[in-house]
Amino acid sequence: MRAILIERPGSCRLVEVPVPVPGPGEVLVQLQALTLCNQHDLKVNHGGYRDNVYLEYGTPGFPGHEGAGVVTALGAEVTDFAVGDHVVMSGLGGPPLYAEYVTRRTAEIVRVRPDVPFEHVAMAELGGCVHRAVRKVASYAGKRTAVLGCGAAGLFAVQLARAAGAAHVTAFDVDPARLQLAAALGADATVDARDEAAVEQLKQTGAEIVIECSGHKTAYRTACHVARESLVIFGYSEGVMEVPLWPLFDHELTVYNSKWLTTADLAAVVRLVETGAIRTAPLITHRFALADYPAAVAAVGRGEVIKAVLTP
């Protein structure tokens, strides 16, 4: 089978590797749709992580942790899945996903209704990560919520805050097209981050809950000024973060951060996609074949991509 191998920053290629065999408690999945993790794929390919470490993938390494496919074989002791089941996967429970087949432990995958397109749930891992971050705050009922950054994570956060019962959701970004999409996905108001007067007004008005999804250091500082009760930091940035402390003291803010997900988060997002409470199709801006992975990463680097789908 074919798989993507990253040999070093700036160099990747398709290689032929054996089709894996599922062990006890595992299934073999034929991948049907994969989505790029914009941050991770870009940094791995450009050497953007500390010491050029590829995290769990090693050097060289096989990337990929967002995907959906069909179960094609069962390992011993598997009774809760069947050949032909549609499933969604994350980085949990098995090897990286940029390949034609992968194995997964059954405890770490989620069955998907067969009428749901694979590409609509392939990005469920990102949604699961955002779900875990959003749910750090116990209740959104009646609360004003601001989401800073309207990339794929922020657009998930807008929808998840709405689904959690937020009374009013404000989306914040520098890209008018992404703000327009945020409004279409449920944001009640949008703020152009380049509009200093609008940003200042948001700081004065405030929001009980702020979810920072951009990873931009200016946005971190803005988030501290806007939040009145809770600040959730989801957007990741390398290096030192400097934030103003007086807003944290003045408003007695609780600050949360979140990196990963659980299988329960993955399942929650799949159910929301199945019911239409979360819409993922509008987030897909690009589609590529597996062999065109370098072009997909380049498009991410140019800032063109919200979510890109790879087809094995």
Euclidean distance between CA atoms 102 and 62, whole angstroms: 12
Domain range annotation of the chain: 2-123+280-311, 127-257
Amino acid type, 260: W
Find all residues with CB under 8 Å of 230, minimum gap 6, and list them: 136, 137, 208, 209, 210, 253, 254, 255, 256
Whether residue 60 is preceded by a cis peptide bond, meaning omega within 30 degrees of 0, is yes
Longest dimension (CA), the chain: 63
Fold (topology level) of 127-257: Rossmann fold (3.40.50)
Q: Angle of helix 152-163 relative to helix 176-184, nearest 10 degrees?
A: 30
DSSP summary character for residue 95: S
Who contacts 216 (Cβ-Cβ below 8 Å, separation ≥6)? 149, 235, 237
- pLDDT score recorded for residue 39: 83
* Distance, C-alpha 67 to centroid of its chain: 12
- Is 28 within 8 Å of 73 (Cβ atoms)? yes
Query: Which pLDDT value is given to residue 47?
Result: 66
- The pLDDT assigned to 55 comes to 47
| CB-count exposure of residue 143 (10 Å: 0-12, 13-18, 19+) | buried
Using CA atoms, how far apart are residues 162 and 233, in angstroms rounded to an integer? 18
CA distances from 271 to 32, 127, 266, 268 (A): 19, 11, 9, 5
Please tell me the predicted confidence (pLDDT) of residue 183.
98
Block mean pLDDT (10 aa), the chain, length 312? 84 90 98 93 72 49 89 97 98 92 97 98 98 97 97 98 98 97 98 96 96 93 97 86 88 92 97 97 97 94 96 94
Superfamily, domain 2-123+280-311 = Medium-chain alcohol dehydrogenases, catalytic domain (3.90.180.10)
Residue 124 CB neighbours (<10 A): 32
